[in-house]
Chain A
Amino acid sequence: MSSPVLRLEGIRKSFGPVHALQGVDLNVRAGEVHALVGENGAGKSTLMKILSGAYQPDAGSMTLYGESYAPANPLDGRAAGISMIYQELVLAPHLTVEENVTLGAEHARYGWVRPRTREVERVLTDLGQQGIAPNARVSDLSIGKKQLVEIARALLFDARIVVMDEPTSSLTADDTKALFEAIGRMKEQGLAVIYISHFLEEVQEVCDCYTVLRDGKMISTGRVADTSIPRIIEDMVGRSVDELFPSSNHEIGDPLLDVSDLQGRKGLPGGVRFTLHRGEIMGISGLVGSGRSETVRTLFGLEPATGGTLSIRGHDALRAAWMTPRAALNRGLDLLSEDRKEEGLALNLSLVFNLTLSDLRRYSRAGFLQLARERSDGAHWIDVLRIRTGSVEQRADELSGGNQQKVCLARLLQQDNDILFLDEPTRGIDIGSKAEIYKLVHRLAGQGKAIVMISSYLPEILGVCDTLGVMHKGRLSTVRPIREWTEHRIMQFATSGYDA
């Protein structure tokens, strides 16, 4: 085994009383994909910010290619060959691929930009992405392609170590494959990749080595081949995986929601029908773009229905086209958005404002808000869901991802409706919070609520749901008990629409 190109030793960093990193070591070799895993708040981001030069460590040393490395700012880091690919992409959407890749490094003569099309094509080819045209507008590309453009940019800047933070969290299966191919090519060229991800299956697929962080300490490190996913999870959460999925102890009762022939724009959904019962947790699986979110969003009145009806608690069938979010809320429906930053939360408002926003009628009399009652109820939900926060007045954007998601869920609990649509309830949050959310979903089902849960993460669907339907191009398969489904069968319907 070659010696490491990047060596971090005893890195410490504190923010006031919070010890974010307490002596972390990390060794990365050339041509290696190194997974950095840990729950949110374990210190991964802080460590990477120190590596990139955004933060300076309180103690510890860094060596890059045998030389001492102490960047004073992110520019130093970039000059030393460290490149960060963030979750939130930083491309200029109106410019072309080439303009983005060469941004800040244009070759100019007398102020006129000289094209570097050939070089851009070369780095794209190096990534196996001949399909991306240098003159395409970035806004026309999928998220996955944009990410590859950003990686191409890193390569053009002679990056030697590329850090990817949750690169696949919003990618389709195809884009993920393309990304993994690109990572493979970068390895061949001797680059080192540090790969941060919550998806351990991906870590197993694409990474050579791993390091687990927990509470600012390095818990374990080694070769991925020598360990297993349950072992990594145990290291991450400090307890065994068996506790992750709760055992089912709720009964399925009368029908609560009956949907027939639901049609939406562009055939998403295209003729969906299902019946949801009291105490049932129904999963909806399928590829991104198959119409999973559109189905529940159309039922909730967030997207226009072009046909179909829904009947709630056996009442007369309503035309889906008449639904609005207010009408849906009043009739006992509620929805957890898959995108908590763009839709789920009003980020610059306080936690308590977010909690009660859908139900202000309960907290007002003649239009005047009852602030004291609102606050005390807010504090109650913070307690119940163990949301880690300073106070109910704290702004939502100051919370971690897991805690933000709990605030979104708390809003649903506060509203206390019976039919809940949970769209990707555990996306981008740490395993500890995931386990808490699974437990909560089961508790809600135990109270006789009916739940539709959409997830791209199959183990979670199989571990949590009672029944499952799979979507393919706007169509929903027959909803069957979960034990009749296997991962293979799910993927078969999701990719082909063929149910064996």
Chain B
Amino acid sequence: MSVQNINVALIGNPNVGKTSVFNQLTGLNQQVGNYPGITVEKKMGFCKLPHNFKANILDLPGTYSLNASSMDESVVIELLLNKNDKLYPDVALVVTDVENLKRNLLLFTQIKDLEIPTILVINMADRMEQKGITLDIEKLEERLNTKIALVSSRKGLGIEALKELIVTYKTLSCEPCTIVSNIDPEYFKRLHSTFPDQLLYKLWLVITQDVNFLKLERNEIRSTFTRSHSDLKRLQQKETIKRYQFINEVLKEGLQVDASVARDFRSKLDRVLTHKFFGYLIFFAILFLIFQSIFEWSALPMDFIDTTFADLSAVAAEKLPSGILTDLISQGIIPGIGGILIFIPQIAFLFLFISVLEESGYMSRVVFLMDKIMRKFGLSGKSVVPLISGTACAIPAIMATRNIENWKERLITILVTPFTTCSARLPVYAIIIALVIPDKRIFGILNLQGLTLMLLYLLGFGMAILSSYVLNKILKISGKTYFVVEMPNYKMPLFKNVAINVIEKTKAFVYGAGKIILAISIILWFLASYGPGEAFNNAETIVKEKFEAQNLSELELENEIASQKIENSYIGIMGRAIEPVIQPLGYDWKIGIAIISSFAAREVFVGTLATIYSVGGTDNEATIKNKMQEEVNPVTGQKIFNLASGVSLLLFYAFALQCASTLAITKKETNSWRWPIIQLVLMSGFAYVTALIAYQVLH
């Protein structure tokens, strides 16, 4: 018998453990990508089923209903309305939380009304006893016209039974649960007579939603059957009431809750975590813990990676036959790769903390705690999530603004999020702090370097808040402010979910940034190894003539030749051209090149310096840090990386919008080039001015 492939879609409200079910089914057989043309994350996975079946499992974005209010939710509707989509599900699994069954069933009834074969997955079944819940599965299956899988994705229970059930997809009933036309029979009758072949609920969704479906007919449907916004909403309310009536009837027969059994852990924890004093204290303590630990805990593995790659370069240079190719490998590629891999420990820690905060349900409490304060600055409580996850990367953070209902609050959040200290700044900060801030402890416990890093994070947040305040005063946009946030139950974060998340995100970072860094390293190596004209090609003769009288040793002469060469290479010429602009900030032309190349992505800065310093250098064993430490300004004899230039660089990277991807995502999310350009000019202009002032004052 041949293997049969089927499409399975996972659909559900946020916070029902949909992703854990997905992880249980697919393990590490996952692919994370984007839907074409938009930046909504698309998670696919594969799973072997019994009886020679194989499933492509699609984890759709969490949604409360098919009435989309964001791009993520539109993805769900567009897929479910388009039978020709190659991902169109053979069977839909609607995942629900046993404690929120009533609300979760709303979406279930909508999916059923699309007449897709549907299985109801009731998750978190292990909590039933504790919460005093009993279910009459047979009754529920009969009333809802479906098959039910009772699972606990946390404990891995019921997953095999679910797989067995998926295989029987052809026998599932496609009968709808409710009849949408009841809400306005007259109107739907006309609709039906005009489009006799179409499902009424589909037509209804096309009328009420902003989705691309039946592109040709859509205008026709809309023009003939349009209603005022207010009218449509009234009908949607009626629809929602109808659905709840149906759900209540079903649950009256199939669900029993013994409230006396339920132990309420949630309200006790809520009282502490949203307390007017302890709530904030705990929040700031958590932030502090995150930043101290990122610096302290990752130091060891980072040093290890750094020295390993320096050793590797030396070995490659020694063992491989000497020539251009070996130079490229030992001076271009190996330092380039090292420059990427060194960030893994810090990025993994950061994603670890963020995913624990989100998994546990704590993030919603922070939203609740911060909303009133954030609103003073034109932001929403929901802006806290982008601002915190912005510490990992501004790209997903800007995407996370989608659930902010108010456009002005959302726009301001998008514009200021790049100020938060993203993980790409971390390597830049780490190396400069290590060079210019002494490794001392103050008050016995606080590490001065860690403290500096913490200050830089606070500076990022501070600037984000301050600029929101200014933008809030300047921008004249009015709109309805809606704010609805679910407060999910507290959950112990699942190791498997957190681990998969950390691995996936880190992998995406290494591959995504890695490609750019590697390409740039190779280009830089070429530009640094070759040059035009006499000054480069005859470097040896020129240097020998110049120092003829001084009787230099072999080694000194070699170093002079190397620096003559790099100064006259292509990159040296470019660097010296921009030197007048960056000199007032305390940078030499090599740093200038690093700044320009790191416009692609900030983390390229370290890799660029590593490549520039490696080319022509005689000492392959030194780490990047050592090489930077030894750089001396040939004119003044001062170290290049001193306190003044170091602080100036830190401030420059704290404020400048050195990230091409951020510009691209801002353009996508705001649908105009206006906002990314404003973002770039304001941020980088501000960065230049503060870096200039800092250097001139400290110098």
Do A and B make up one complex?
Answer: no
Residue positions of B touching A, CB distance < 8 A:
none
Residue positions of A touching B, CB distance < 8 A:
none
